[in-house]
């Protein structure tokens, strides 16, 4: 993954968390999407973004 501000590639994981997305029912069954998201440290000392 790369930093959205400076585009430097980083592999140092800061934390992970889960997001849940819900949509309307399909075929009478509820739709739920679970995503695991990682936050990374930006290792560029000149970049204002830290995570």
Taking the CB of residue 41, how many other CB atoms lie within 10 A of it? Answer: 15
| Averaged pLDDT for residues 11-34 | 91
**34 forms bridges with which residues in the sheet?**
20
Q: What is the pLDDT of residue 50?
A: 81
Assess contact for 44 and 3: CB atoms under 8 A: yes
| Averaged pLDDT for residues 19-28 | 89
pTM: 0.57
């Amino acid at each position: 993954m790369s930093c959205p501000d400076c585009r430097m590639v980083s592999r140092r994981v800061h934390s992970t968390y889960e997001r849940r997305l819900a949509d309307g029912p399909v075929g009478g069954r509820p739709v739920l999407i679970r995503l695991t998201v990682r936050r990374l440290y930006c290792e560029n000392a000149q970049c204002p973004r830290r995570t």
